[in-house]
Amino acid sequence: MSDSSSSAELAASMRAMIGRLSPGDRLPSSRELIRRYRVGPATVSQAIAVLAAEGVVITRPGSGTYVAARPQRRAEVADTAWQTVTLADRSVDTRLLTSTFGEPPAGTILLDGGYLHRSLQPTQILTAALARAARRPDAWDRAPATGLASLRSMFATMAGGGASADDVLITAGGQSALSMAFRAIAGPGDPVLVESPTYPGAIAAARAAGLRPVPVPMDADGLQPDLLADAFAMTRARLLYCQPTYHNPTGTVLAPRRRRQIIDAARAAGAFVIEDDFARHLGHGAPLPPPLLADDRDGTVLYLTSLTKPAAPSLRIGALVARGPVMERLRAIRLVDDFFVTRPLQEAAVELLSSPTWERHLRTLAAALRERCAALAAAVTRELPDWTLAHVPAGGLHLWVRLPYGADDTVVADTARRHGVAVSAGNRYFATELPAACLRLGFAATADHAELLEAARRLASALSRP
């Protein structure tokens, strides 16, 4: 085992060793573990700390580390059947957020991922930002419920449209912001208009809040304003959820002429628009349109964005921008839910956004995403000519393809998985019936271009077999 081996790997090896020992037996000394497994002292300390936290070992300062007593097995299994009656029908459906087929086996090429591969993440920048944040004397103090003022100012500048720090609420990522916004505006049983197709997390969050997602069709220019107005009139909905920039899953950008029409339709209905700007930092190099918030004069738009997608999955920092009484409602929900977002992570986000290396990372990321997008699009067009790729997006992390007439997207996704490629079946992205069978193919979660090309070849080979 090399010096770079992780403490998790060492802990796994030590568990196997402990399984051959008896409770009370003394483990080898730290010096012996260092020699035996060829690791550093810090790795040994971390591994022992993990095992102690699990209750596998007991450490006695000055004496050593010992195998802990084995837990006694319970003679009877608890009878929890009564809970089914008490919980009634308020279950939370997470099927849209998790794979139908479970964890992919080793060697699977991941075209179903929604985050950057580790090679695309600004790991060194994040590590340095977190280290600087941790050295601040107030790093572990309680944070304001609305978020650090400096971070709120940064997100206000990012949103534009005259937003100020007072209009911003820091959230634990985009999904948390979305859940809070749904609960702040609508009540159980209320309709919420969504693009068709749309982000599965929005459908799941709406249903978890007791809302009823109602689809509104899109075309190549995004959400259709005339059909949106009809949907507001028929449903009396007071909430629209949309992704105007590099829409997930289609990659569509709302046409400039429609921006004002969307806001006006919502304003006429007395409704709010939740603008999910998840891809604000995921452009491929072309200029991005400003957020819808920039065209909003009356507090119609609630704007949400996040640092998670352009940075790393565990940088769970996002923001909601809103004006008027709805912001007071959001602040109240924040206090009831969790008081505040952890301060060290907020401090790290401030360090990250204020560093010149952040802008360099975004430029590098844009070039990498553009190249990956083009590579996968070309490979799919070449290897799978029966699939229809409507357009190659200028931003985002995904391609949206239509399958041949009569194909079943779930069957295709299952076949792909069995041949070493994970893809997202299109049915997850529709609130009601599917107009056609589609797949979402991601190009950011793979290790490199070679994996993208190999994925297309595997798909073509798998689907050509009888």
Average pLDDT of the residues in 88-101: 66
- Under 8 Å CB-to-CB from 265, ≥6 apart: which residues? 225, 228, 229, 232
Residues 338-349: what's their mean pLDDT? 92
The pLDDT of residue 98 is 66
**Cβ pair 143, 340 in contact under 8 A:** yes
Q: Are 205 and 211 in contact (CB under 8 A)?
A: no
- CATH topology for 123-354? Aspartate Aminotransferase; domain 2 (3.40.640)
Q: Who has greater pLDDT, 86 or 120?
A: 120
Instruction: Confirm if 466 and 138 have CB atoms less than 8 A apart.
Output: no
Write out pLDDT tens, residues 163-198.
Answer: 899 999 999 989 999 999 999 999 899 999 999 999
Q: Confidence class of residue 88 from pLDDT cuts 50, 70 and 90?
A: low
- Measured CA distances, 306 to 318, 324, 331, 355 (Å): 4, 22, 18, 17
- Sign of the four-CA dihedral 256, 261, 263, 264: positive
Answer whether residue 312 shows pLDDT above 90. yes
Stronger pLDDT, 45 or 192, i.e. the higher one? 192
| Average pLDDT for 354-363 | 94
Query: How does residue 410 score in pLDDT terms, banded at 50, 70 and 90?
Result: very high
CATH architecture of 7-67: Orthogonal Bundle (1.10)
The domain limits of the chain are 7-67, 109-114+359-464, 123-354
Six token digits for residue 57: 């070992």
Written as six digits, the tokens of 193 are: 């208009």
pLDDT digits (tens, 9 = 90+) for 200-243: 999 999 999 999 999 999 999 999 999 999 999 999 999 999 99
**In CATH, what is the architecture of 109-114+359-464?**
Alpha-Beta Complex (3.90)
Give the Å distances, CA to CA, from 42 to 10, 35, 62: 11, 13, 18
Q: Answer with the residue of higher pLDDT: 78 or 365.
A: 365
Q: CA-CA distance, 153 to 158, in Å (whole number)?
A: 9
